[in-house]
Structure 1
């Protein structure tokens, strides 16, 4: 896998962490372990851990599968996560 040439800006990291927290909240509300969600999504448990900690970007297809399995809407997962450095 190619390595990222530049570190993402701080605002991207912040937004990624916010998304990760929402994924974790939805997973827990659905009564799922990280292993169970990983099995459904088709990734390793480590990937779920990294998504939830905001250490890894979640691809759109994976986000759709997470939403479907947890019963959360994709819009609810990303709602309120502002784009851009000023949040605009």
Structure 2
């Protein structure tokens, strides 16, 4: 089975932008990464990696994170 090629730069840029919006909204809601982790059921290291653009979250994970922060999903992916 062939290995997956790394995503193109434009995908990485969008991933980082989503992570930055997630962090900004979390801070605006005055929540820690730990609080978001507990509320969403997403482990804290994953929250950190998503915010840093190092991990690609699934749509389900984004939905859970948005709900934990109290924002509509569209806010994170606009």
TM-score (norm 2): 0.89
Could you list the structure 1 runs, at least 4 aligned residues long, displaced by more than 4 angstroms after superposition. Answer: none
Give the equivalent residue in structure 1 for 2:67.
Answer: 68
- Offset of 1:38 from its aligned partner? 1.0
1:31-86 CA-to-partner distances (Å, cap 9, x unmatched) read 1111111112212211001000111011111111111121211111111xxxxxxx
Q: Give the whole-Å Cα distance in 2 for the aligned partners of 1:31 and 1:14.
A: 26
1:23 and 2:22 are equivalent in the alignment: yes
Over the residues paired in the alignment, what is the CA RMSD in angstroms? 1.2
Query: Runs of 5+ in structure 1 lacking a partner?
Result: 80-88
1:6-85 equivalence runs, <5 A: 6-79=5-78
Count of aligned positions: 76
Larger helix fraction of residues: 2
Give the equivalent residue in structure 2 for 1:82.
Answer: none
